[in-house]
């Protein structure tokens, strides 16, 4: 772990993304993610403003396809968050690494039909590799580290990080992990050459039988 430093959840988010090498974010501000946007003036990440959240998701998807590094998009809560679902699903279908960060209503208002609240975790779960919703600011550095790892490893794909507004604004001592463990996630990376050769042989045998 690195040395503790007191900061807001929003600042911790941007600091953690800088540590992951993020240089640009595609997004559109709204009420529930304004604390994140305040931090753009105090970090080295470039923000690329879109006119619709769906565009941000498709841009992040395209960035991931070309660079093989996660493209990052920002959206606010409610309809802002739901507008990025098509881009997320596209990234999942085509194995493009992506990090989608959405604002959310304060923790105490979740599940109470608050203004511009939507269950984006429930909606996105079928089309993401994993979805996080940190309920305390202290969780943000760990969540970002895990999110980028999940998005890039194994079969690449999108990860959603949904951050309540009060979690963004709370200031607490932060630690940024160098090492972490994700229970149950062990991406397979070394190809089984014997199995691949067997599959090729089966393909040609079947092809010859059909011809």
Given a contact cutoff of 8 angstroms between Cβ atoms, the answer to whether 56 and 28 are in contact is yes
Give 1-10 pLDDT, tens digit per residue. Answer: 556 889 999 9
pLDDT tens readout for residues 24-44: 999 999 999 999 999 999 999
Q: Which domain holds residue 89?
A: 5-210
φ, ψ of residue 36 in degrees (nearest 5): -65, -45
CATH at 94: 3.40.50.970
* Ramachandran area for residue 49 (φ above 0: left; ψ -120 to 50: alpha; else beta): beta
Q: With cut-offs at 50, 70 and 90, classify the pLDDT of residue 56.
A: very high
Based on the structure, what is the number of domains in the chain?
1
189 falls in which pLDDT band (50, 70, 90)? low
| Banded pLDDT at 111 (limits 50, 70, 90) | very high
């Amino acid at each position: 772990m690195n040395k503790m430093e007191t900061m807001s959840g929003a600042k911790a988010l941007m600091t953690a993304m800088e540590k992951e090498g993020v240089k640009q974010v595609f997004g559109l501000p709204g009420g529930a993610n304004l604390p994140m946007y305040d931090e753009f003036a105090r970090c080295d990440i470039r923000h690329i403003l879109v006119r619709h959240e769906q565009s941000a998701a498709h841009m992040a998807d395209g960035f991931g396809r070309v660079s093989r590094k996660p493209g990052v998009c920002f959206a606010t809560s409610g309809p802002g968050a739901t507008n990025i679902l098509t881009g997320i699903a596209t990234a999942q279908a085509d194995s493009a690494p992506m990090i989608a960060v959405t604002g959310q209503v304060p923790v105490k208002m979740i599940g109470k039909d608050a203004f511009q609240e939507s269950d984006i975790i429930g909606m996105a779960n079928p089309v993401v590799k994993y979805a996080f919703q940190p309920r305390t600011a202290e969780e943000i550095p760990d969540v970002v580290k895990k999110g980028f790892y999940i998005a890039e490893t194994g079969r690449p794909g999108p990860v959603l990080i949904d951050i309540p507004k009060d979690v963004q604004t709370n200031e607490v001592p932060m630690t940024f992990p160098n090492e972490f463990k994700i229970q149950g996630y062990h991406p397979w990376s070394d190809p089984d050459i014997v199995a691949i050769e067997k599959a090729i042989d089966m393909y040609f045998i079947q092809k010859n039988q059909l011809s």
